[in-house]
A and B are shown apart, each in its own frame.
Chain A
Amino acid sequence: MHVPDGFLDAPTSIATGAVAVVAVGVALRGARRELDDKTAPLAGLVAAFVFATQMLNFPVGAGTSGHLMGGALAAVLVGPWTGVLCVSVVLIVQSLLFADGGITALGTNILLMAVTTVVVGWVVSRVLLKVLPKRVGLVAPAAAIGAFVSVPAAALVFTALYAVGGTADISLTTLATAMLGWHTLIGLGEGVITFLAVGAILSVRPDLVYAARGVITERDLVIKPKESVA
């Protein structure tokens, strides 16, 4: 979903740029609470993994493809604030080094792929984990659903931005329908990849998964002599 230069007009791009700067600034403060000597290197690895996986466009039919955005994945693995930072670094490197995503659209892309997908992915998976029974096995499915929802959500935010500052005169209903439709399909891929990646780390080191911490701790506190920690 990398927006190139020229899709949105200058005022909108400046506005999204300002929002992105504020969001990254707030994330820098918030990430301090999530990062320690162990999770800091993990954040670098998660960002590298997101970059690598973003190169893997998967076909979604009719000559279209999609790739992971990774906001939900990063948020679940290393925490939402750090997740915003991880995906932002990916987007900055992609734009400056790989000419992927416009430079004037960097704020837009951070808003769409680093902020929207992290917020939606995190909130959805968080709510699910609050409602569902406290089981480590449910963390990966919750993350996958959050990831799935985050992609059409980002598509809707793009449509809203286009309604405000799109440079071409097109039907917004057509745009919204097409964006939502395709990105719901792409979201399925996002969900599957997130499920596999979160599940893989959970199976070896559940303590490294940020979203699983609450689940593990609460289980540790339950006094049930017969049942050992999963």
Chain B
Amino acid sequence: MSETEKKRVPFKWVAVVIAVVALLLAGVVSYYASAHPDGLEYVAGRTGFLDSASEHGTADGPLADYGTKGVDNERLSGGLAGVIGTVVVLLLAGGLAMVVRRRSSSSTDEA
């Protein structure tokens, strides 16, 4: 890539902004998301096969349905679940990508 561009925004900043935006969306904005059934659920209800859905195996989990068990405040419960999920996905996907990537320098080999 050409380095002739005047000022390139450092990667670190881009990373921080994406992370902050994701955390805000999951932690704060998600409270205002539509509570209506999504396309598939709606169609299933209308077409008459929604009943065939069975109870989810982890329906009693501590974060089931994007709520944090034991946190009564709805806003906090959902926001916390969103933040935890975002961090977990970041670590898992980022970690997986770090393991899969080709290494430019001779760093530690795990895979």
Contact = CB atoms under 8 A, between A and B. Distances in A.
Interface of A: 1-7, 28, 31-33, 35-53, 55-60, 63-67, 82, 85-86, 89-90, 92-100, 102-103, 155, 158, 166-168, 170-171, 174-175, 178-179, 182-183, 185-186, 201, 204-205, 207-208, 216, 220, 228-229
Contacts of A50: 89
Interface in B56-71: 56-59, 61, 63-66
Contacts of A201: 14
B92 A93 contact: yes
Given A85-B93, A99-B61, A42 B15 contact: yes
Contacts of A51: 22, 26, 85-86, 89
B27 to A, nearest CB: 8
Given A48-B19, A93-B89, A229 B2 contact: yes
Contact of A179 (B15, B40, B81): B40
B39 A183 contact: yes
Given A43-B93, A55-B25, A96-B58, A35 B40 contact: no
Interface string B85-111: 111111111111110111111000000
Contact of B49 (A47, A98, A167): A167
Contacts of A59: 34, 36
Size band of the interface chain B makes with A: 35 or more
B93 A63 contact: no
B80 interface: no
Interface of B: 1-2, 4-5, 8-9, 11, 14-15, 18-19, 21-23, 25-26, 29-30, 33-40, 42-44, 46-49, 51-59, 61, 63-66, 81-82, 84-98, 100-105
A100 B65 contact: yes
B57 to A, nearest CB: 5
A184 to B, nearest CB: 10
A55 to B, nearest CB: 4
Nearest to B83: A52
Contacts of B87: 48
Contact of B102 (A35, A52, A58, A171): A35
